[in-house]
Structure 1
């Protein structure tokens, strides 16, 4: 079990840091598939691992020439924090207060599969899609709000959503989108964990595997960051697309199993 959960944290974080998926997009459906924990525990394991990965990635990125577009990313991050709090609040209300975990699990798997399919198609056809360079602060903040709400409710960290939106609305290259997505993920996951701390204090939640997943997240963040600057943008996009396809299949399986 220890080795399994370390590898889940490590492999997810390597791909997450390298391709901008955040790790949670992989961790959440994989832990659902494993079936060892309830939704609330999975959400905390995923958020904590992604937080560890994004922290390590950002520390290492300080030594590179690639920079975060603070004008855009800080506004999106601010919106994603508020959206994250709302999304996590909705999740906690239905799962904890109304005890509707089974229904929410089905909704999460279905919605995540649908969003990932849309993102996959977008990146395959993006040469036919006009990208923009939005500067309106209200729109940028609102974009972060929506991303934070969806990612917190789905428990995924928001990686692929961030990358797609950053490419579409702000004309960022693959590597630029990955770096800025990691920056946004850090703040959204931090807000999510703060909310959980003050609302549940982690009572009644089995976090036995959490240290091993965090270690995997830190190690994966280091490895993924190294690969990010050694692989071409084309290779990163290929890994991004392949990973999304695999996760879509896992989510469809989880959806069918839940129904």
Structure 2
């Protein structure tokens, strides 16, 4: 990979991580489809690099909030969801490997990921635009939280996006969380699922070929984006976060459909 390409990967990671830290999406839901558009490296490599970037950003954001004692994470609900997400991260990584082995053409896996992401994001956008008319739940039981976290972990790990919009919608609907509280809990969940996914990747020796320089730049972009996103998040209200979230979902849907057509064409 050329120096210019690595620099572009850094820029994408930085900008995506700012948005991810503000909205609680993790950034991977932007990084993965955008980098797929360029087609400069394999689907597996992009998923791995995206996951590492998301892990670095969420680690900083969650850790900084905990140290500053201004975290909005509900430890009872959030930890149960996070443990479930960690287990789901393991299953999601295995699912990715299984799907990958089903297709001799690795690009087809990217097509499956793009199609799933487009569908999930579309439903998320529809819910977000109509959430004022939807009556939410207020679950708190540990078994339910573990099951929901498991589902989120599977999807995020398989798609290589960290968490994405689906985390926020689930937290809105099942736990009646406000926008910023949902964002904080989403990053907490993402942290656990990405740690589990990385452990599985290392333990099963399925790390794809990648450039260490590119990885270092993307991780740097993830942390830098997390720093800036945290600052911005403190200065804007819930309505601004929701507007940014809605715009990003529209962009993600368009890019995912484009990637689906390209990979499956």
The 8 Å contact of residues 41 and 207 in structure 1, kept in 2 or not, is answered as: no
Once the two structures are superposed, residues 101-131 of structure 1 have per-residue CA deviations (whole angstroms, 9 ceiling, x without a partner) of 2322111111100110110111110011011
Mapped to 1, the partners of 2:233 and 2:89 lie a distance apart of 27
User: Among 152, 155, 160, which residue is 1:155 paired with?
Assistant: 160
2:244 aligned partner? 239
Runs of 5+ unmatched residues, structure 1: none
Quote the offset at 1:18 in angstroms.
0.4
User: Among 228, 231, 252, which residue is 1:226 paired with?
Assistant: 231
Could you say what secondary structure the match of 1:75 adopts?
A: helix
> What is the correspondence of 1:168-179 to structure 2 with a 5 Å cutoff?
168-179=173-184
Quote the offset at 1:203 in angstroms.
5.8
Once the two structures are superposed, residues 158-201 of structure 1 have per-residue CA deviations (whole angstroms, 9 ceiling, x without a partner) of 13111110010000000000000011100100111111111126
1:196 aligned partner? 201
Mapped to 2, the partners of 1:173 and 1:188 lie a distance apart of 22
1:3 corresponds to 2:7: yes
User: Among 104, 114, 120, which residue is 1:109 paired with?
Assistant: 114
Quote the offset at 1:98 in angstroms.
5.7
Distance 1:233 1:203, change over 3 A: closer
Mapped to 2, the partners of 1:196 and 1:98 lie a distance apart of 20
Distance 1:75 1:222, change over 3 A: same
Mapped to 2, the partners of 1:174 and 1:144 lie a distance apart of 18
TM-score, length-normalised on structure 1?
Answer: 0.96
Could you say what secondary structure the match of 2:161 adopts?
A: coil
User: Among 165, 170, 188, which residue is 1:165 paired with?
Assistant: 170
> What is the correspondence of 1:83-94 to structure 2 with a 5 Å cutoff?
83-94=88-99
The 8 Å contact of residues 80 and 144 in structure 1, kept in 2 or not, is answered as: yes
Mapped to 2, the partners of 1:97 and 1:198 lie a distance apart of 22
Quote the offset at 1:23 in angstroms.
0.4
The 8 Å contact of residues 44 and 208 in structure 2, kept in 1 or not, is answered as: no
The 8 Å contact of residues 46 and 155 in structure 1, kept in 2 or not, is answered as: yes
1:70 aligned partner? 75
Question: Over the residues paired in the alignment, what is the CA RMSD in angstroms?
Answer: 1.5
Mapped to 2, the partners of 1:209 and 1:249 lie a distance apart of 26
- How many residue pairs match? The answer is 259
1:32 aligned partner? 36
Mapped to 1, the partners of 2:69 and 2:142 lie a distance apart of 28
1:48 corresponds to 2:52: yes
Distance 1:207 1:38, change over 3 A: farther
The 8 Å contact of residues 60 and 222 in structure 1, kept in 2 or not, is answered as: no
